[in-house]
A and B are shown apart, each in its own frame.
Chain A
C-alpha cells in the first residue's frame, strides 16, 4: 500500500510525519536537530529514502544533514559553500552596494535522476550544486555573475534564492527565483542565465516593469507541462505559458493577491493553490480566516477552501516553501503555518485536518509519496 511522508522544517527543528495512503492517522516523529532552524528538507525523487536537510543557526552557522533511511538517522555532510571567484556586490536597502555574503541555505533541490546530485539555493543569492551526496559543493557562478546582479536587493527576509525547479522534459533547463531580483532561467544546466520577468509589475521599485528587481515569492510547475509556470509574487499571482518568456496576472477574484506559497495539483495541471495573506505589512490571513484558494482554471477564477480550517481569530502566515502536494489519488495537499500547525487534505483541498497543531513556526513542508 502507498504511504506518505511529510517533511516539516521549523524554526526549532525538523519533524517527519508519516501515514498510510488513507492519510487519516499520522505518526509525528521529531524534533530532529532540536533548537536549530530547518529552512528546508527534501527527498530525492530517484531514492526517496535519501533526504537532505538545511540546518542553520545564528550562533553556529550552516550544517547540511543527509539521511539514507527516510529520516530515521542522519549524518552531517559538507557545509562549505564558498562563492567562486570575485564575490561582487549587490544593492543594499539604503541604496549602497554591499558584497555578497553567505548567510544560509534556503532550499535544497535534489536531482530528478541522481540521489547524489543536489542543487542548493542560498542567501545571499547564489546557486550551488553537489554531485557527491553533499560532501562537496560548488557554486554555479554564472547566475551571481549576471550583469544585473549589482541591481539585486534583499527582500524583507534577506536576499535569498528560494525556488529551484528542474525541468523534467528539457534537460539542462533550470528555473530559479530570488527575492528581490526575480525569476531566471538557464537552458544549459546553470552555465548561463537570463531574467524571465517580462509582464511582472512591481510598484515597489522605481521602474515597475524593470527586467530585474521583482520580489518573486514562489514559482510552481506541473511536471507534465513544464512550459506553464505559476508564480506568487509579493503582490500578484502570475502565470506564464511560455517557460517564463512572458507573464500575465491571474489573481482574478482572490480576496488579496499577496501571499507566499503556490502549488499545483499532482494530477490536474490546471488546478493550483495559494494562501492569500492580508498585505505586505500584515503577514496574516485576511479576516481572521485561514482559507486556501483553489483555481481549477489555471487562475482567474478561485474558490475558498475552508472546511476544517479555522474561520475566526486566526492570524497565521504560510511561508513560501511551506506547501506541498502528494501524488496519491485523490491528491493530498499539505501546508504549515507560522503558528506551528500542519494541515493536510486527502481530497485535493475539499476538507482539511490538522495533522499536528503545536510545532514551532513552520518554515517548509515537502511531501513524499512512497510505494
Chain B
C-alpha cells in the first residue's frame, strides 16, 4: 500500500479529504503510482501528467522523504519508505503565484 497526498484542488476534484492509498503490483515507481491513482480516481487523468505523453505537467512536483523526485525518470524506484507506506508520496502544486 502506498500513501499519496494530493494538493487541495485535486482532493476536491477527487472528492477525498485526506491521504489516498493505492495498491501497486510490481515495482513502486512514479509511473506505477500514477497509473494506480488514475485508475482509482479517473477524474484526475490529465491533471498531474499529460494523458497522451504522460509527461508531468509543468507546475506539478513530486516529493517524498524530503526529496524532489520531479526530475527523476518515472520508472525509477521510489524510496523504500514510500514503497512500504511509511512515508507518503506527495503531489504538489508548484509555487507559481496565483
* A associates with B: yes
Chain A residues within CB distance 8 Å of chain B: 34-36, 57-63, 76, 79-80, 82
- Interchain CB contact (< 8 A) of B45 among A57, A59, A80, A82: A80
Query: Which residues of B (35-84) have their CB < 8 Å from a CB of A?
Result: 43, 45-48, 51-52, 57, 59-60
Give me the 5 closest cross-chain CB pairs, A-B, nearest first: A60-B47, A76-B43, A59-B59, A59-B93, A80-B51
Cβ A60 vs Cβ B10 within 8 A? yes
Query: Which residues of B (1-33) have their CB < 8 Å from a CB of A?
Result: 7-10, 12-13
Cβ B43 vs Cβ A60 within 8 A? no
Cβ B9 vs Cβ A59 within 8 A? yes
CB proximity of A136 to chain B, nearest CB, Å: 12
Cβ A60 vs Cβ B45 within 8 A? no
CB proximity of A188 to chain B, nearest CB, Å: 29
CB proximity of B12 to chain A, nearest CB, Å: 8
- Interchain CB contact (< 8 A) of B98 among A58, A62, A80, A82: A58
Interface residues on B, range: 20 to 34
Q: Chain B 80-95 against A: per-residue CB contact (8 Å), 1 yes, 0 no?
A: 0000000000000110
Closest residue of chain A to B92 (Cβ to Cβ) is A59
How many angstroms between the C-alpha atoms of A57 and B98 in the bound complex?
10
Cβ A79 vs Cβ B59 within 8 A? no
Cβ B13 vs Cβ A63 within 8 A? yes
Cβ B96 vs Cβ A60 within 8 A? no
Closest residue of chain B to A83 (Cβ to Cβ) is B52
B residues less than 8 Å from A80 (CB atoms):
45-46, 51-52
A residues less than 8 Å from B59 (CB atoms):
58-59
- Given known A80-B45, A80-B46, contact A59–B13 (CB-CB < 8 A): no
How many angstroms between the C-alpha atoms of A124 and B52 in the bound complex?
17
- Interchain CB contact (< 8 A) of B46 among A35, A36, A58, A61: A61
